[in-house]
Structure 1
Amino acid sequence: MPHSKVPTTASSHTIHGVQLHVNDGLLAPTDVCEMRISYPTEPINELYRRYKDDGYVLLKGLLPRQDVFAAREAYFASLASTGILQPGTAAVDGIFNSSASTSDYPGIGASSLDVKTDTNNPAGRFVEAAVKTHTEPWYNGSEKDGIAGFCNHPILRDFVANIVGWGKDILTVRRTLLRNNTPGNRAIGVHYDQIFMRYGEPTAVTAWVPIGDVRIEGGGLIYLEGGDQVGREMEEEFSRKAKAAGMSDQETRNAFNANMTSTGFLSESPREFARDRGRRWLVSAYEAGDVVLHTPHMIHASTINHDPEGRIRLGTDLRFVNSKRPWDKRWDKDFALDDGL
């Protein structure tokens, strides 16, 4: 809902006694409100209504915590050789090395990764290792070894199939984004997922899964209040203008993407984006086992990670589609830095 704009000071708190920062500055108390919490045990029809009406549904404790922490431990164990972890700490804790530079550990999906996989510099070596985790059996499974992998967790897959009514037609999209967010590093810009899956129907379900506990100031995802409606309106307005200009479907797709920032986002400035539209950002702390399902047009971003213990925020974007309906098959492959998606 619209709200009045008030000046803020560097010492002001955003919510619950902490400051929440995004790429363009400190969020004021009037910039935020808490997300609605739901539970998997509630009636499935009610949960689906919230998903459609709110553009998201935050499900507390959907996944077993031990499964989430096992994935977290595997991830950071595989990256330990890059020097990302504080010496003497356990991999599962994911505590950032206080003597390291955050620029050597860029977050995949948060900004343009010009370093690519140049192993002559620390950032390049880290990016190479982080990309490799997308294909490791603990994460993406192994048919040969009969390992499902975290991406194919049956509880999550079955829940999504149930809530949207796809049943056995549900398909887990192979391309995923396993994102780390080291303390103080750049956060994720403003976007909605259909921007990146433009060659399919806007029916895919995204499951954002925090892999570990995330404090409210720890860099978790934030959602624009009424963001699904805003996303749809932006899409419809652009499509209307493209049609009036006589563009083909292919030309429209290309033109839409050309209007994004270099990283594919609607904006790198979440605070300005929301204030310009008289909207607030919906925020929350997350616990291992929580899952947020959101719609293709739901606008979201993230805060900068200011975890007081130096904990690295780790999360993954998993997407599900109805295999009987048109979907963006460019995503039927493992994540790669140069895949253009």
Structure 2
Amino acid sequence: MPHSTASSSSTPLYVNDGLLSPDQVGYLQASFPHEPLEELRQRLERDGYLFLKGLIPRDDVLKAREDYFTYLAPSGVLAPGTLPVDGIFDDKNDRLDYPGMVSAGSTDANGRPRGGLFVDLALKAHAEPWYKDGFCKHPALHSFIAKITGWGDENTLGLTRSLLRNNTPHNKAIGVHYDQIFLRHGEDTSMTAWVPMGDIALDGGGLIYLENGHTLGQEIESGFYEKARQTGLTDEEAKNAFNKNMMGGGLIADGAKEFATAHARRWLVTDYQAGDVVLHTPYMIHASTINKDPKNVIRLGTDLRFVDSSRSYDKRWTNVYAFGDGV
């Protein structure tokens, strides 16, 4: 059965270009790690995603969330008197000074994201041992991906480069994209695990997935490469040309509402709990809603990419994420 909340039908969901209409919204189907493995594989292949409830122990996720906001607390992002694990934004702040990692937002004179110490700490957090060497290598996640893909423990490699993204209330949402755009220097066989690090309400800025978006992503990719071949471009020239035709940040579109209308497909949504994981394939089109959480909860999540190390993969992802690293 689809996973949703009791208030889902009346919860307004905003994206960068406005309010999603009811006919543009559907719900992610929940799966559970204990279900038969072959059924889960078939579901992943059919839908392009697998929304797994409780894959990682909740306490482990909340500890990582606590570590993260303890690390960012000196920036003044948290409301006074609140616990770091709760991640409550101090709404006395100018939200534009806390643009988070979802969007670069405005930039300073050096072309860096506006945000000062907040952005500096959010970037440095990617290399902290509790995150890079701990949470990103959680055995429950690694083990499940090794099984669901059939790669096995020996060949399942978690790429070092990850995107640890916070989304402060009312700032910009993630635009429309699919992950192969960023992993094009390797085979299209990678697996993304999006891990919400904490509970995320339906209107709290969580990821949304385009219904059958993996088939559309493949069509977009193959259509471009066919045009590239017809014009005589080499594979490398085609990769570069494709990337140059993306919007800023590698997006297909900034506005999820117009994109859904143009392609006559719904956005699949849900609320998330700490411990949930969404696996999605390289062509699965996704975005996010704007964080409108009424309690000012900061949305925190991470994109972890896994590959079969025995096959060709994008070696640019073997380094810790850094601002302006060109990937």
Q: Same fold (TM over 0.5)?
A: yes
Deviation at 1:59, TM superposition (A): 0.2
Q: Give the counterpart letter for 1:186 in structure 2.
A: K
Which string of whole-angstrom CA distances, capped at 9 and with x for unpartnered residues, describes residues 25-72 of structure 1?
Answer: 000100010111100010011111111110000000011000000000
Instruction: State yes or no: 1:73 paired with 2:58.
Output: no
The DSSP-based 3-state class of the residue aligned with 1:16 is helix
The DSSP-based 3-state class of the residue aligned with 1:158 is helix
Instruction: State yes or no: 1:104 paired with 2:97.
Output: yes
Q: Would you say the 8 A contact 1:112–1:263 is kept in 2?
A: no
108, 120, 126: which is aligned to 1:134?
Answer: 126
Counterpart CA distance in 1 for 2:187 and 2:102 is 23
Going from structure 1 to structure 2, the CA distance change for 1:21 and 1:139 (only over 3 Å counts) comes to same
Counterpart CA distance in 2 for 1:159 and 1:111 is 33
Counterpart CA distance in 2 for 1:180 and 1:215 is 14
Q: Match of 1:265? A: 251
Instruction: State yes or no: 1:44 paired with 2:29.
Output: no
What is the Cα-based RMSD across aligned positions, in Å? 1.6
Instruction: State yes or no: 1:176 paired with 2:162.
Output: yes
Instruction: State yes or no: 1:24 paired with 2:21.
Output: no
Q: Give the counterpart letter for 1:125 in structure 2.
A: L
Q: Would you say the 8 A contact 1:116–1:127 is kept in 2?
A: no
217, 222, 239: which is aligned to 1:253?
Answer: 239
The DSSP-based 3-state class of the residue aligned with 2:9 is coil
Deviation at 1:15, TM superposition (A): 3.9
Instruction: State yes or no: 1:152 paired with 2:145.
Output: no
Which string of whole-angstrom CA distances, capped at 9 and with x for unpartnered residues, describes residues 281-320 of structure 1?
Answer: 0000000000000000000000000111100000000010
Which consecutive unaligned segments of at least 5 residues does structure 2 have? 1-6
Q: Give the counterpart letter for 2:17 in structure 1.
A: D
123, 129, 132: which is aligned to 2:115?
Answer: 123
Deviation at 1:174, TM superposition (A): 0.3
Q: Match of 2:290? A: 304
Q: Match of 2:4? A: none
82, 88, 92: which is aligned to 2:85?
Answer: 92
Q: Would you say the 8 A contact 1:117–1:125 is kept in 2?
A: no
Instruction: State yes or no: 1:162 paired with 2:154.
Output: no
Q: Would you say the 8 A contact 2:99–2:105 is kept in 1?
A: no
Counterpart CA distance in 2 for 1:330 and 1:124 is 27
Deviation at 1:110, TM superposition (A): 2.5
Q: Match of 1:237? A: 223
Counterpart CA distance in 1 for 2:283 and 2:194 is 14
Instruction: State yes or no: 1:339 paired with 2:325.
Output: yes
Which string of whole-angstrom CA distances, capped at 9 and with x for unpartnered residues, describes residues 116-136 of structure 1?
Answer: 9899x9712211110000000
156, 176, 179: which is aligned to 1:190?
Answer: 176
Q: Would you say the 8 A contact 1:109–1:177 is kept in 2?
A: no
Q: Match of 1:3? A: none
Counterpart CA distance in 2 for 1:60 and 1:305 is 22
Q: Would you say the 8 A contact 2:123–2:322 is kept in 1?
A: yes
Mean alpha-carbon deviation: is it higher for 81-90 or for 101-110? 101-110
195, 198, 210: which is aligned to 1:224?
Answer: 210
Count of residue correspondences: 320
Instruction: State yes or no: 1:57 paired with 2:50.
Output: yes
Counterpart CA distance in 2 for 1:140 and 1:322 is 19
Q: Match of 1:323? A: 309
Counterpart CA distance in 1 for 2:67 and 2:109 is 23
The DSSP-based 3-state class of the residue aligned with 1:324 is coil
| Stretches (4+) displaced over 4 A | 116-119
Deviation at 1:107, TM superposition (A): 2.4
